[in-house]
Amino acid sequence: MGAGSGIDTFIIKTVEWCNLNCSYCYFYHGQDSSFENRPRFMPRKTVDHAVPKIIEHCLANGISDIHLTLHGGEPLLQPKNDYVWMMSQFDKIDAAGITTHRKITTNGVTLNDEWAELLARFLVKVGISLDGTRKVHDSARVDLAGRGSYDRVIRGLKTAQKFGDKGLKVGTISVLNPFENGSVIYEHLRGLGVKTINLVLPEANYVQPLEAPPDGYAHKDLAIDIFDAWIQEDNAEVSIRFFQDAIRAVAGLPSYSDQFGFAPVNVAVLETDGSMQPTDNFRACADGMTELGLSIYRDSFDDLYNHEFFQLCRDQQLLVPEECSGCKFLDICGGGRISTRYSEKDGFSRKTVHCETLYGLFEHIETVLDKRRQEAAA
């Protein structure tokens, strides 16, 4: 490995269970069932072993900045004293000369004042899962009793936003769900004061296909409608990374979105039992696919990085599906994220199940950029 190569994103699965039961969840409703046999919470000894190995990996590979993301399950179910202790252990990484960018992905249901203060204290950026209006959100994001979670999530979002003056940065994570018009979803999120919006394609493939959209309103239509609403507002303070990366890609500039197929995915996942795995997306492909037999108690992150399966994440841009040959967006998409290409018969050799959405969005962006160039030249 040369300088600067290696793993730069570490997903820490602090909690292996959840208080919601979202219908599209790849973790609990995907193909993988390994969560059933793991501890519900990450013990401190796992973190004790992980921190020095993160430092070792980064120093050996010239990595000076890393992302640490607390994930689950639902990470805010973690005991608060364990969270505070974990943050103090992560401080050791910074003390070694490696800057940590700390994040948490939460459903927001239990996000109260005490949690918001703790997140702000340790400069942890917060991504709250909110799909849009009550209608679209509650169509999928329900609790274990089947009740919608919208009201509780909004309460958590508003609580977090109160701590903005204490340095707490809050955004939303919205799975594209064509249950509501995109312009309505965008206006709703903006009406809640959200300026950082992360749009996520549903985790799907040929084994776990996309659900048929209601009334023929497809994911492509939803993405384009949200894009148009964002462009129309023309507010530089509003960030939608999915679109920003797509614009850069269509314009011929470097883009590193992990939702397209040409970005190497240097992501390590650490499970509650100390298992070291590649990115979670493969859970939607086959049961046990991410089980590489590696453990933080005996292996290094170099062992994970150099594992044959991990190379699929690193080098997916080299695995171009034959059916994508001749596509004008091949240099942008590369066939799509590799986990979304999986089928039992053909492995990862198919094009992404999101082809229609990505192609339609790229083509729409291309038209918008061409129009703006013509207006600028006139």
**Residues 94-139 pLDDT 10s:** 999 999 999 999 999 999 999 999 999 999 999 999 999 999 999 9
In terms of Cα–Cα distance, which of 357, 330, 365 is closest to 245? 365
Q: Which residues are 142's β-sheet partners?
A: 148
State yes or no: pLDDT of 257 exceeds 80. no
Summarised one tens digit per residue, pLDDT across range 229-255 is 999 999 999 999 999 999 999 998 877
| Residue 215, both tokens | 């009334």
- C-alpha distances (whole Å) from 308 to each of 263, 290, 361 are 18, 12, 33
Quote the CATH superfamily of domain 9-314: Aldolase class I (3.20.20.70)
Burial of residue 36 (CB within 10 Å: 0-12, 13-18, 19+) is exposed
pLDDT for the residue 3:
37
Q: What is the mean pLDDT of the chain?
A: 94
pLDDT score at 22? 94
pTM above 0.75, yes or no: yes
Give the residue carrying structure tokens 């805010």.
Answer: 76
From residue 73, alpha-carbon distances to 11, 12, 77, 271 in Å are 12, 11, 9, 11
102 or 35: which leads in pLDDT: 102
* pLDDT at 264 exceeding the cut of 80: no
- Peptide bond preceding 73 in cis form (omega within 30 of 0): yes
Residue 319 backbone phi and psi in degrees, to 5:
-105, 75
Q: Is the pLDDT score of 4 beyond 60?
A: no
Q: What is the pLDDT of residues 292-346, one digit of tens each?
A: 999 999 999 999 999 999 987 777 767 889 999 999 999 888 899 989 999 999 9
Nearest of 329, 334, 344, 287 to residue 312 by alpha carbon: 334
Percent of the residues in the chain that have a pLDDT greater than 70, as a whole number: 98
Domain ranges of the chain: 9-314, 318-377
First to last CA, the chain: 50
* Average confidence (pLDDT) over 202-229: 92
Q: Tell me which H or E stretch contains 152.
A: helix 150-161
What does the pLDDT read at residue 317?
Answer: 66
Query: Would the pLDDT of 2 be above 90?
Result: no
